[in-house]
Structure 1
Amino acid sequence: MADLERVLKRIDEDLDQSLDRLFSLLRIPSISADPTFKADCRRAAEWCAATLSEVGFEASVRDTQGHPMVVGHYTGAGEGAPHVLFYGHYDVQPVDPLDLWETSPFEPSLAEVEGEKRIVGRGSADDKGQLMTFVEAARAWFAETGGLPVNVTVLFEGEEESSSPSMIPFLTANAKELTRDVALVCDTNMWNRKTPAIATMLRGLVYDEVIIQAASRDLHSGLYGSAARNPIHVLTRILADLRDENGHIKIPDFYEGVPELSDEQKASWDRLGFDQAEFLGGVGLSVPAGERDRSVLEQIWSRPTLEVNGIVGGYIGEGAKTVIPAKASAKVSFRLVGEQDPDKIRAAFRAFVTARAPEDCKVTFLSHGGDRAVSQPTDSDFVQKTRKALSDEWNTEAALIAMGGSIPIVTQFKRHLGMDSVLVGFGLDDDRIHSPNEKYNLSSFHGGTRSWARILGELGAGKNLA
């Protein structure tokens, strides 16, 4: 306990220096999806490896077929202590549209909005600010005690924002080095500003693109109107057929493998006090649009979805152009739950679309990946000790929540390394990740750093955790 108090005091006293270090990382434009920034991604990886080495880890940059990984090790806690794998990613999303940023995205700043201090800049919440909470917690432990209470392997990825093409080959090639007692993943949110959370359920994902081709070229709508098939009409009619008036998805066998919530789970979620009016009102909406017989919290956490993420077709420039396009396309994503099979969902969707296409239209599909839903055990010692540490820091019981999104690395850790994960993050719903003016509250950064210090201490207080 005396060690922990000194560590927490060090974190408080060094907050300004911790921010300076975070800002140094935020200034590196490590956009993994754009080849223009390849050198910057390597620069970010080298910065992370150098920082881990400075803290006290044995760290190195590992080349892959794409952007490099960063791996660090600390084994000074001894054989009897747990050995955890901490995961984060140093790459960030593109910044477009740039004109909507109020400040330069890679010139981080500390702003005060309605009495709340915010770290502003691309990557501040997703995921540089998050991963640095762990690094700074480790720094404080090393500074005050000369080591960490547990053995730690660190894995920082540089392609999370571009579908992680190098991750599975890297995991399988380095399975022995990376397989630990549990993975700690810091890429999630708190329940609210004052309540920390551990995410225990993640939805899976199927992402497909459908292209409808009609005529061999774009046509003049005065010469060919009505006589020629318009692929936009075809596509939008098919997309409209995917859901009924009650929000149910009409693809045959779509709900196969979808579980019902247990009474205990429903009661646990009810106790969270979720306000669906506030949730929708925060983005200018008021009427839930999903399955009418399900609550909003069920819709975003435990029910599968179908969303059209983009439609392209015809003339979309300034002014008018009377054209019947030769083709139209849509990008469609599905969030999966329970035992839904991504391959079956993709095949059923494609069959649904193909069956409704007219004879003179050609339908093609492009796959943009997919994976199953995943649930983590809530009764393990790792979860319980993490929950205690979070509750102690925030002076309120940490919530066990589900997430509407997908974090593929959690599935990959389970599938390729046989390893469960504990998902702890300090982001907030209004952090604007993937959007202009991304921010990370100073309270999230500071409280997150203190939380990781407590978690490391709590995990190290016992041996042979399960």
Structure 2
Amino acid sequence: MLPLPPVLDRLDRNLDHSVERLFGLLRIKSISTDPAYASECRRAAEWLVADLTSIGFDASVRDTPGHPMVVAHHDGPTPDAPHVLFYGHYDVQPVDPLELWESDPFDPALKDIGAGRKIITGRGSSDDKGQLMLFVEACRAYKEVHGKLPCKVSILFEGEEESGSASLKPFLEANAAELKADFAMVCDTSMWDRETPALCIGLRGLVGEEITVHAADRDLHSGEFGGAAANPIRILAKVLADMHDETGRVTIPGFYEGVEETPSQILKSWEALGETAESFLGEVGLSIPSGEKGRSVLELTWARPTCEFNGITGGYTGKGFKTVIASQASAKVSCRLVHKQDPQKIREALRAFVRERIPADCSVEFDEHGGSPAIQLSYDAPFLTKAKTALSDEWGKPAVMIAMGGSIPIVGDFQNYLGMESLLAGFALVDDRIHSPNEKYDLSSFHKGQRSWARILDALTR
């Protein structure tokens, strides 16, 4: 077992150098969604390979039909040491609108913003270059102090996360034997607040569907045909209204199949975080929860399924007024899934629900917009328990077990293609402005995040 204190000391002494290394990566304009930056994406991959190679990893750039992957391996101290796969992404979002940035998004800097806070500025500083470099720096410190790592480590850095990860699933499938480990570690998540570390144990899944109701073969004059001809907007509005009852529950038959109640001890830990409907919704000008009654806002957004309407169109929507009965109307519907809900069953149930409510002389068509199951990790997984203790030791506050209302598809892919559960630990903050102008990363997150990963690696060997 490798002593931890000298590793933590080395990370403290190396902080300035680690910031400079991050600046080097942040200067690379690895915008994956814009083909004009393809060479920059490759340059970022090559930069990471060179850096990982310099600390003893067997690292390489792996070509894909899109942007390249970075794959690296390092042996553990013994053949039977635990094996982890660490995942991050080196690509970044576009910077538009550029005029809203206070400084060049690809000219990173360290700024003092008062109240004892310093921040690293630049696109990718939080999402996800700053986060992935935390783990690299932890490995670097172990190598400098002990000449080895405390466990076997594989690394996968992706270059298309911000543009849909088109190459990821085929790559995982083709390289499953090489990438398989005891479990994965994913860094693309957040703290609960500036002082409280968090581990994510649940991610909601998704079913996306566009519904289009067709009525007459053309738009109709509402005076001539009103009251006699079917109005697809009215039909669609009634269908959507029927999808929820007065308590906020979804009324689609079979919708709650596979939904489990969250353990009471987890609910109590969420209550202890102090989040209220007023504090959660107040930031967006609301105050009254609209979901299932009798549940907290954290339970509603982290552990309960939803059926939401994301857009509705039909008839004349331009300026002014036009007295017309539309020939068709459309709605975009998304269902967030939890626990063991089956995306395909939910899709089929949703379509059956809609079809039953369409008049005989009208028709409906559906356009599928993706689907993925929820991710629910074991609340008492041994590696999760060890990581929670490690984070609590570093931050001086108990790490909280949270969930996320959105999705991180790579976690499901690791389960499906590699048969691995994932440890989701990240050190971003809610005010990091990811995907927005003036993205930043707190220096304290960057520093203590490195120490946190060093502690987690140490804990896994005990």
How much has 1:342 moved relative to structure 2?
0.3
Q: What residue in structure 2 maps to residue 6 of structure 1?
A: 6
User: Deviation at 1:132?
Assistant: 1.2
Corresponding residue for residue 27 of structure 2: 27
Correspondence for 1:38: 38
Note the alpha carbon deviations across 1:189-243, whole angstroms, 9 max, x for none: 1222111111122222212233445666778989998888775555444434333
8 Å CA contact retained: 1:203, 1:335: yes
Residue matched to 1:417: 418
1:391-430 equivalences under 5 Å are: 391-430=392-431
Mark the CA change 1:248 to 1:75 in structure 2 (over 3 Å): closer, same or farther.
same
Question: In structure 2, do the counterparts of structure 1 residues 171 and 12 end up closer, same or farther at CA, with 3 Å as the change threshold?
Answer: same
Q: Does 1:81 align with 2:81?
A: yes
User: Whole-Å Cα distance in 2 between the matches of residues 221 and 121 of structure 1?
Assistant: 54
Inter-partner Cα distance in structure 1 for 2:109 and 2:48:
20
Q: In structure 1, what residue type is equivalent to 2:340? A: E
Aligned residue in 1 for 2:211: 210
- Report percent identity of matched pairs: 60
* Mapping for residues 302-317 of structure 1, pairs under 5 Å: 302-311=303-312
Per-residue deviation at 1:144? 2.3
> Which residue identity lines up with residue 272 of structure 2 in the other structure?
R
Report which stretch shifted further, 182-191 or 44-53: 44-53
> Could you say if the C-alpha distance between residues 239 and 435 of structure 1 is closer, same or farther in structure 2, counting changes exceeding 3 Å?
farther
SS at match of 1:352: helix
- Residues 228-272 of structure 1, C-alpha deviation per residue, up to 9 Å, x if partnerless? 877555544443433334322222221121112233333333333
Q: Distance in 2 between matches of 1:259 and 1:342?
A: 16
> Equivalences for 1:299-448 in 2 at 5 Å?
299-311=300-312, 320=320, 322=322, 328-357=329-358, 363-448=364-449
User: For the structure 1 residues 442 and 307, does the alpha-carbon distance in structure 2 shift closer, same or farther, using more than 3 Å as the test?
Assistant: farther
| Alpha-carbon distance in structure 1 between the residues aligned to 2:38 and 2:321 | 39
Matches within 5 A, 1:45-444: 45-98=45-98, 100-113=100-113, 115=115, 116-212=117-213, 234-311=235-312, 320=320, 322=322, 328-357=329-358, 363-444=364-445
- CA distance in structure 2 between the partners assigned to 1:218 and 1:48 by the alignment: 58
Amino acid corresponding to residue 91 of structure 2 in structure 1: D
Question: Aligned to 1:137, what secondary structure does the other structure show?
Answer: helix
Q: Which moved more, 1:330-339 or 1:149-158?
A: 330-339
Structure 1 residue 19, shift from structure 2 partner: 2.1
Question: Quick check: 249-258 or 429-438, which moved more?
Answer: 429-438
In 2, distance between residues paired with 1:142 and 1:210? Answer: 56
User: How far does residue 328 in structure 1 lie from its aligned partner after superposition?
Assistant: 5.0
Q: Distance in 2 between matches of 1:153 and 1:458?
A: 17
SS of equivalent to 1:24:
helix
Deviates more, 1:132-141 or 1:324-333: 324-333
Aligned to 2:178, what secondary structure does the other structure show?
helix
CA RMSD of aligned residues (A): 3.0
- 1:389 positional shift: 1.5
Displacement of 1:127 in angstroms is: 1.8
* Runs of 4 or more above 6 Å deviation: 215-230, 314-317
What secondary structure sits across from 1:123 in the alignment?
coil
Tell me, yes or no, if the aligned pair for 2:277 and 2:288 is still in contact at 8 Å: no
Q: Secondary structure, in 3 states, of the residue corresponding to 1:401?
A: strand
Identify unmatched segments of 5+ residues in structure 1: none
Moved more, 398-407 or 19-28: 19-28
TM-superposed CA distance for 1:288, in Å, is: 1.5
Moved more, 268-277 or 51-60: 268-277
Determine the C-alpha separation between the residues in 2 that align with 1:364 and 1:414.
33
- The whole-number CA distance in structure 2 between the counterparts of 1:216 and 1:96 is 42
Cα offset for 1:292? Answer: 1.7
Report the Cα distance in structure 2 between the residues aligned to 1:96 and 1:226, rounded to whole angstroms. Answer: 48
Q: Do the aligned partners of 1:222 and 1:322 also contact (CA within 8 Å) in 2?
A: no
| Secondary structure at the counterpart of residue 4 of structure 2 | helix
8 A Cα contact 1:109 1:121, kept in partner: yes
CA distance 1:244–1:69, change in 2 (3 Å): same
2:425 and 2:4 map into 1 onto residues whose CA distance is 20
How far, CA to CA, are the matches of 2:310 and 2:50 in structure 1?
39
Q: 2:233 touches 2:328 (CA, 8 Å); kept in 1?
A: yes
Distance 1:24 1:222, change over 3 A: farther
Closer, same or farther: CA 129–212 of 1 in aligned 2, 3 Å: farther
Distance in 2 between residues matched to 1:104 and 1:311, nearest whole Å: 38
Greater Cα shift, 52-61 or 33-42: 33-42
Change (3 A) 1:273 1:178: same
Aligned to 2:424, what secondary structure does the other structure show? strand
Shift of 1:416: 1.9
Per-residue deviation, 1:163: 3.3
Distance 1:380 1:248 in 2: 31
Alignment TM-score, normalising by the size of structure 2: 0.88
Structure 2 contact 269–400 (Cα < 8 Å) conserved:
no
